[in-house]
Structure 1
Amino acid sequence: MNKTLNERAKSMRIHARLPKIFWADAMSTTTYLINRGPSVPIGFKILEEEWKSKDVSLSHLKVFGCVSYVRVRDVDKDKLDPKARKYIFIGYGTNDMGYHF
């Protein structure tokens, strides 16, 4: 399993053209995605559904390394400032909430 994680994380990081410093983020995202994918040993069921005994939504998934625009809070901007900033998506937040940019 470690080789699978390493190869997938390496592939994602290289495809996104990110420097090696983002290796840990790629590894974390790889683990997150594997846990939400079908698993052969348990009959193609999703691990996350088996652990939590509830349906898992996959609608929030994003492409690792994609360009994302994050809305700027009103307190941090002037009237003429842009409403969003450009970032690169590098992973998912903890406790199933949010994203890392």
Structure 2
Amino acid sequence: MNTTLNEKVKSMRIHVGLPKTFWADAVSTAAYLINRGPLIPTWFKILEEEWQSKDVSLSHLKVFGCVSYVRVRDADRDKLDPKARKCIFIGYGANDMGYRF
């Protein structure tokens, strides 16, 4: 594995205090973030901007391991149940713009 990726994964996982079982999620998230980092030779554009020739928003990026609240669908709860569940953010969806908790 790439040393840069491995070091990022170690620091992300240890900083949050997650067990080693979350290693694969940390690798996926670290690779996702590295691929959206600036490229020095192209005047700080990211790969996606170069490939698509348009501006790309990074507003969807979140802090790995942060506390998040996920909405519980109406069909999955009663009237007096909480509308959200407390979770930990562990990454981004593989095929869409979703998140993994």
Residue identity matched to 2:12: M
Superposition misfits of 4+ residues, deviation over 3 angstroms: none
Partner Cα distance (1:27, 1:51) in 2:
23
TM-score (norm 1): 0.93
SS at match of 1:94: coil
TM-score (norm 2): 0.93
Size of the aligned set, in residue pairs, is 101
Matches within 5 A, 1:52-91: 52-91=52-91
Matches within 5 A, 1:16-55: 16-55=16-55
Which sections of structure 2, spanning at least 5 residues, go unmatched? none
Per-residue deviation, 1:43 = 3.4
Sequence identity percentage = 81
The two structures, once aligned, show a CA RMSD in angstroms of: 1.4
Which sections of structure 1, spanning at least 5 residues, go unmatched? none
SS at match of 1:25: helix
